[in-house]
Amino acid sequence: MLDEGADKTAEELLLGFGLPPPASAAAPVEAGPEAADGATEDRLESVVAAGTVVEYKINEDEFHKISLHECDFFIRKVPDPDDNVYDFREMYVTPPDTDVYSIPKVIGKMPKQNTRCNLGKWNEIVLVRSNDRNNPREAMGRNEFHALKVFLIKHYRNRRMEAPNFVLNFEKVFVLDGATKSIRKAKVKIEVPGGKDRDRSKEILTIRDGGKTFTIIPQEKRKSPDEVIAEFEWKRSREEFEKYLRTFRDFETSNWF
Residue 100, CB-side half-sphere exposure with 13 Å CA sphere? 7
DSSP element (H, E) containing 253: helix 251-254
The amino acid present at 8, given as its one-letter code, is: K
Q: What percent of the chain lies above the pLDDT cut of 90? A: 53
pLDDT at position 135 = 65
Q: Highest mean pLDDT: which of 13-17, 189-193, 248-252?
A: 189-193
Q: Tens digits of per-residue pLDDT, 52-111?
A: 899 999 999 999 999 998 999 999 999 999 999 999 999 999 999 889 999 999 999 999
pTM comes to 0.71
Radius of gyration of the chain (CA): 24
Higher pLDDT, 125 or 58: 58
145 band by pLDDT with thresholds 50, 70 and 90: confident
Higher pLDDT, 95 or 254: 95
Average pLDDT (34-53) is 51
The amino acid present at 205, given as its one-letter code, is: L
Q: Tens digits of per-residue pLDDT, 151-205?
A: 999 999 999 999 999 999 999 999 999 999 999 999 999 999 988 889 999 999 9
Q: For residues 98 and 161, give the distance between their C-alpha atoms in angstroms, rounded to a whole number.
A: 33
34 band by pLDDT with thresholds 50, 70 and 90: very low
Q: What percent of the chain lies above the pLDDT cut of 70? A: 70
22 band by pLDDT with thresholds 50, 70 and 90: very low
Q: Which of 173, 165, 177 is nearest to 190 (CA)?
A: 173
Q: For residues 190 and 207, give the distance between their C-alpha atoms in angstroms, rounded to a whole number.
A: 12
Q: Which of 69, 76, 60, 124 is nearest to 95 (CA)?
A: 69
Judged against a pLDDT cut of 50, whether residue 10 lies above it is answered with no
**Close Cβ partners of 78 (under 8 Å, ≥ 6 residues apart):** 85, 86, 87, 114
**Close Cβ partners of 130 (under 8 Å, ≥ 6 residues apart):** 138, 139, 140, 141, 142
Q: Where are the domains of the chain?
A: 10-26+54-222, 226-257
